[in-house]
Amino acid sequence: MILIDGKKEAASLREELKKEVSELKAKYNKVPGLTVILIGDLTPSQIYVRNKEKSAKEVGLNSEVIKYPDSVEEITILNKIHELNQDDTVSGILVQLPLPKHINKKKVIEAILPQKDVDGFHPVNVGNLSSGYDSSVPCTPLGCYLLIKKIEPNLNGKKAVLVGRSNLNGKPMTQLLLKENCTVTITHSKTKDLKNECVKGDIIVAAVGIPELIKGDWVKKDAIVIDVGINKTEKGIVGDVDFREVSKHAKALTPVPGGVGPMTIACLLKNTVECFKKSI
């Protein structure tokens, strides 16, 4: 079984980006800038943002984190986004989710200029992705896609089973795999006989949020299995895939942690560099 080393792949992507950023700096005398807005003091969000900032600096991006307390008014966030939209030194804007209940997520996402939407959540980018046009692609599915392509460059005709249909993961993943001529099945909480769907997959991408849902006998021999899940349990952080069982069946599998997570951050940097290149 191939253990898909997301840490290694992310490090190599960051290395490529670092080189590209230094070339861009030499050519244009400026570097891409990423601004992250962090609201509240949720520990996971703070950790994600700290990691994003560290990685952005490592590849040579201008990185800024703007913090607000939980009680901040929605209008303050919208005004800040409008200000950042006009700022030429900012190539990408990310508002860390989840947001406090009194702030409307849709309004916030739609306030970001699609050209600066490094998360790929703006409806214009969602529409462009599903129409097969150039767009920002959400970082986690983009990371999954790059890992799958490393193992299997030609996905023509492969059967892909996506477990989970969220806007963040399952839906954009569908578009990426359709573009590669996969036959895609999207499953969700109302799917009848999930096991029967999974066993047909040459590729399985699990983004559910249920610890070790995908069992060994749900996976056909030689399948590529990508585990997006991050679940806190008594035995520590585990994915949506039963790693011990599935590793006996699959051709390739991502570990949790150390699989999709590091690629998500590297893809955020990649999206920021892409936004910068389109802006010059």
The residues binding ligand NAP (CB under 6 A) are 140, 163-166, 168-170, 187-191, 194, 207-210, 228-231, 260-261, 264
Residue 44 Cβ vs ligand NAP, minimum distance, rounded to whole Å: 9
Strands 203-206 and 159-163: parallel
Distance CA 176, CA 45 (A): 27
Residue 150 Cβ vs ligand NAP, minimum distance, rounded to whole Å: 17
Q: Which C-beta is closer to ligand NAP: that of 202 or that of 212?
A: 212
Over its C-alpha atoms, the chain yields an Rg (Å, rounded) of 19
Strands 92-95 and 252-253: unpaired
The residue from 80, 96, 158, 202 that is catalytic is 96
Residue 259 Cβ vs ligand NAP, minimum distance, rounded to whole Å: 7
Q: Among this protein's residues, is 149 annotated catalytic?
A: no
Q: Which C-beta is closer to ligand NAP: that of 33 or that of 261?
A: 261
Residue 200 Cβ vs ligand NAP, minimum distance, rounded to whole Å: 15
Written as six digits, the tokens of 270 are 């990649």
CB 29 within 8 A of CB 278: no
Q: Which residue shows structure tokens 């769907």? A: 197
The residue from 80, 116, 117, 119 that is catalytic is 119
Q: Among this protein's residues, is 119 annotated catalytic?
A: yes
Strands 231-233 and 236-238: antiparallel
Distance CA 150, CA 132 (A): 22
Q: Which C-beta is closer to ligand NAP: that of 48 or that of 276?
A: 48
Q: Among this protein's residues, is 115 annotated catalytic?
A: no
Question: Any idea which residues carry the catalytic annotation?
Answer: 52, 96, 119
